[in-house]
Structure 1
Amino acid sequence: MPFRIKNLLFALLSVAAVTGATLVSAHEPHWAVTLRGQLVRVAEIDWRLATVAPQRCARIAAGFGLALDSISAYPEAERPAVAAALNMTDLLQIAAVAKGSPGELAGLEAGDNLAAINGAAIASLYDPAVDIPRADQIEALLTRLPIAKPAQISVQRGGDAIDLAITPLPRCAARSILAVSDKVDAYSDQSNLALTTGMVEFAQNDDELALIAGHELAHIMLLDRHDRLQIRRKRKEDEADRLGAELAVCAGYDLAQASKFWLRYDSTRLLGFLPTFTHRNSKVRYRALTKLAAAGPPDCADIAIKPAA
């Protein structure tokens, strides 16, 4: 994949991936605003999907509903323009706060600068010995905090210092990452999933994007990456389609609208109308999802995990 992060385990939801991306000139800083908008969309979808059925996930993490960004994640030559476009400083910035999340309910706002966690200054929480972006390190730290125990989060907003007690909720530990690539793609490993900027642009609405993210999250929940037997690949994709669609529906997305993604997806691939060894034809997937939508909503209190036989 044309994405700088080699292992999704070490890259939580952030725009650290821009370090290795080819971006437009600093004289046109609008690309940073566009990228931030995509990050906000992915962060919202990530939160809603990850909190649907955390008890069904192999790993559970503390969820605050935040996405962080750091000016240090951007190419050095681009930083002045990015800082001006996004009102960033050397402090970590809260790029997004998911609706209804503990962060929003406690009063955090997008644009706040993160100053301290439980009294420890953010600068003291970085590990300079590891090659992991600052925003990713702090997001990882947040996920390891005790669930259902208030965390003291200190932010700077304008000239004001604000201290908030935020109690995280359980969420699937798997995170959705925004990968900078023009390719219309989504993928996952055993730990996290990625949506490319090309995929975010291609999706006509968040219903479609949630369906694709849900499919990749389903692979993680089904432990598909632990199973190397390719003979079951199509059945695994079928089950990921089913589970991913149910996750999206239970997260509040419209499956009837989302399934239309598959009517357009073939246009992104050479000979896309042909089936592959690993995936069914897009029209077949569309019909299956349409049938699932017509059957009515799933039991969101007891979403079924059915690994492919």
Structure 2
Amino acid sequence: MKIHFAAIIALVLAGCAPMSRLPPVDQKATQVERDKQLELALRENFKRTARLNAVGWRVLSANTDACGEAVQAAYGVISRDADSMPQEYRPIFEKLYGRHPHDVILTVFPDSPAARAGLMPGDLIVAIGNRDTSTADNKKAGRELAMKTRAGEPLQLRIRRAGIDKVVTISPQLTCAYPIDLVTNDSVNAAADGGRILVTSGMMRFAATDDELALVLGHELAHNTQKHVQAQMGNRMIGTLLGIAVSIAIGVDISQLGGDLGGMVYSQDFESEADYVGTYFVAKAGFPVEQAADFWRRMAVEQPQAIAHGSTHPDTASRFTGIEAAAREVAEKRAAGRPLLPEMKQ
């Protein structure tokens, strides 16, 4: 019955089919093009990840005093192996970096312990400590050793460059322990979840300079250091409990509405605080903040509906003037030789 029905649908819709006679497509050429596009996508992902984490390294390492216990000793390097790639990208990864069982260094952050030790993109990590990384078990053990070494002791690596092995020693450096992840998404957005910082590929394209990208990362770092996620979760819980109490009284379940309303309490204030504190984080990392507010003029062009009306976030005009005021405050403290610390309520 299903087969007959499908045939009837196909016959009925046949009149709506394309009318042109398409030329034959070479399937081998299509596969070659598919591989080329995968390679372009992988290269661009690595390029964006490198830029994101290079800027992030400066912001995270300059503001450890604001991160409390959320700090770690890190090396300033990103490495991957073919097995860590999605299945469709593994042949491309091996084409770019060779077929071998080792991690390859993809990115070395400027002015990081890895950079000072002389590591370079393309180096193979063939041993961590005395653990050879040619087998999965040894690679896992080596990575565990690297994590333990992050307590502050130097880490010894054996790297292979152009077929020649070399032993290097890296002394780690403290940074804020908030990993920065690139999310493949066209929306112009970034977020913090209390433990990480997430930046979309759309935001990477929109943030035209590293100064603007630093402003985004400083803002999201401030969300984490100021515990905004935890505060909003608490507000949502209180709103839910109040909603349950009212639901019992009126006989209609509004607990979810209560939670939603509770979660929005202080939402705009949290965003304004993240802009303010984040401006200090960016300045401490050595990025200029004098023109930082212009980012929100560009955002207003991208999202004109947010110029005069905010929802969970303040409107872009308010954010512009708020960051301008924060930048002036930073400049005044610099001129007076005062520490670059945001003003806090008593």
Please say whether Structure 1 and Structure 2 have the same fold, judged by a TM-score greater than 0.5: yes
Q: Structure 1 residues 67, 85: CA separation in 2 closer, same or farther (over 3 Å shift)?
A: same
In the alignment, is the contact (CA less than 8 A) between 1:174 and 1:193 conserved in 2? yes
Query: Of 36, 41, 61, which residue of structure 1 is paired with 2:51?
Result: 41
Whole-angstrom CA distance in 1 between matches of 2:154 and 2:183: 32
Among candidates 237, 240, 252, match of residue 274 of structure 2: 240
Larger deviation, residues 223-232 vs 81-90: 81-90
Partner of 1:72: 83
* Residue 341 (structure 2) pairs with residue 303 (structure 1): yes
- Cross-structure match for 1:57: 67
CA distance, structure 2, for counterparts of residue 212 and residue 55 of structure 1: 19
- Give the drift of 1:90: 4.0
Q: Which has the higher helix share?
A: 2
Alignment RMSD:
2.7
Tell me if structure 1 keeps the 8 A contact 2:129–2:155.
yes
Indicate how the Cα distance of structure 1 residues 125 and 216 shifts in structure 2: closer, same or farther if over 3 A, else same: farther
- Report the alpha carbon displacement of residue 44 of structure 1 after superposing the two structures with TM: 0.6
SS at the partner of 1:276? Answer: coil
DSSP-derived class of the 1:51 partner: helix
Q: Give the length in aligned residue pairs.
A: 276
Aligned-partner residue type, residue 25 of structure 1:
R
Q: Is the 8 A contact 2:63 2:285 kept in 1?
A: no
Check the 8 A contact 1:93/1:112 in 2, yes or no.
Answer: yes
Tell me the equivalent position of 1:150.
154
1:252 equivalent to 2:290? Answer no
**In the alignment, is the contact (CA less than 8 A) between 1:150 and 1:168 conserved in 2?**
yes
1:292 is matched by which residue type in structure 2?
A: A
| SS of residue in 1 equivalent to 2:323 | helix
Shift of 1:276: 2.7
1:141/1:268 CA distance change after superposition, 3 Å: farther
Q: List alignment gaps of at least 5 residues for structure 1.
A: 1-23, 129-136
Q: Which residue of 2 aligns with 1:32?
A: 42
Where 1:187 maps in the other structure, the secondary structure is: strand
Q: Give 1:167's aligned residue.
A: 171
Residue 316 of structure 2: aligned partner: 282
Q: 2:252 corresponds to which residue?
A: none
Distance 1:224 1:161, change over 3 A: same
Counterpart of 1:99 in 2: which secondary structure?
Answer: coil
Shift of 1:46: 1.5
> SS of the counterpart of 2:36?
coil
SS in 2 for 1:43: helix
Question: For residues 106-185 of structure 1, what are the structure 2 equivalents within 5 Å?
Answer: 106-122=117-133, 123-124=136-137, 138=143, 142=146, 144-185=148-189
Instruction: Report the CA distance between 1:269 and its aligned residue.
Output: 4.1
1:305: how far off?
7.6
- Pairwise CA distance, 1:260: 1.9
In structure 2, give the amino acid aligned to 1:234. Answer: Q
Tell me the alpha carbon deviations over residues 211-264 of structure 1, each in whole angstroms, 9 at most, x when there is no partner: 001111111111111112331222111111111111111112122343222112
Q: Decide whether the 8 Å contact of 1:64 with 1:102 is kept in 2.
A: yes
Mapped contact 2:330–2:340 kept (Cα < 8 A): no
1:219 aligns to what?
A: 223
Deviation at 1:280, TM superposition (A): 0.7
Check conservation: 1:185, 1:198, Cα contact below 8 A: yes
Paired with 2:203 and 2:147, the residues of 1 have a C-alpha distance of 26
Where does residue 265 of structure 2 map in the other structure?
231
| Equivalent in 224, 241, 261 of residue 295 of structure 2 | 261
Once the two structures are overlaid, the 10-residue window that deviates more, 204-213 or 276-285, is 276-285
In the superposition, the TM-score normalised over structure 1's length comes to 0.79
* Highest RCO, 1 vs 2 (Cα 8 Å, sep ≥ 6): 1
Q: Percent identity?
A: 25
TM-score (norm 2): 0.72
Structure 1 pair 105–279 and aligned structure 2 pair: CA distance change class (3 A): same
Q: What is the deviation of 1:302?
A: 5.7
**Gap change, CA 1:171 and 1:197, over 3 Å in 2:** same
CA drift at 1:187: 0.7
Compared CA separation, residues 141 and 288, structure 1 to 2 (3 A)? farther
After the TM superposition, which parts of structure 1 deviate over 6 Å for at least 4 consecutive aligned residues? none
Q: CA 1:77/1:236 → structure 2, altered by over 3 Å: closer, same or farther?
A: closer
Is the alpha carbon distance of 1:255 and 1:160 closer, same or farther for their aligned partners in structure 2, counting shifts above 3 Å? same
Maintained 8 Å contact 2:284/2:340: no
Q: Per the alignment, in what secondary structure is the counterpart of residue 94 of structure 2?
A: helix
Report the AA paired with residue 62 of structure 1: A
TM-fit CA distance, 1:121: 3.0
Residues in 1 aligned to 2:34 and 2:52: alpha-carbon distance in whole angstroms:
25
Q: 1:118 to 1:192 in 2, by over 3 A?
A: same
For the residues of structure 2 that align with 1:242 and 1:90, how far apart are their CA atoms?
Answer: 46
- Which structure 2 segments of 5+ residues have no match? 1-32, 236-263
Alignment equivalent of 2:102, drawn from 87, 91, 103: 91
Contact 1:32 1:85 in 2 (8 A): no
Is 1:272 matched up with 2:306? Answer: yes
